[in-house]
């Protein structure tokens, strides 16, 4: 088969619109999953240095998950804040 007959075969098989456009994946959107009646899992973007610091704290305290480390840091912060601040925090939380 020569080059011209190959091109003729390719051109005869070509149909306009035969290539379907790729659909956007759902993974590119913010992930919110129902894990229970009142809990939803959300992603959070943070700078790399903050993420690295979080992982260091997580490893030092031998925590398995980032959310456990974040909750520990929040608890520590609230323990060392003023009673006025704690009251405002609790009002906004509820």
40: part of which helix (H) or strand (E)?
Answer: strand 40-41
| Residues 50-62: tens digit of each pLDDT | 999 999 999 999 9
0.85 exceeded by pTM: no
Residues 6 or more apart from 32 whose CB is under 8 A from it?
Answer: 40, 41, 42
How far, in Å, CA of 41 to CA of 85, rounded? 27
How far, in Å, CA of 94 to CA of 90, rounded? 6
| Residues 2-53: tens digit of each pLDDT | 666 665 665 565 555 555 555 544 444 445 555 555 667 788 899 999 999 9
Cβ atoms 31, 42 nearer than 8 A: yes
């Amino acid at each position: 088969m020569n080059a011209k007959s190959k091109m003729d075969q390719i051109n005869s098989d070509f149909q306009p619109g035969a290539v379907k456009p790729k659909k956007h994946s759902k993974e590119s959107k913010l992930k919110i999953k129902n894990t229970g009646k009142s809990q939803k899992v959300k992603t959070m973007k943070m700078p790399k240095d903050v993420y690295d610091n979080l992982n260091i704290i997580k490893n030092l305290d031998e925590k398995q998950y980032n959310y456990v480390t974040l909750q520990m840091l929040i608890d520590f912060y609230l323990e060392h804040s003023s009673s006025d601040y704690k009251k405002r925090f609790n009002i906004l939380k509820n």
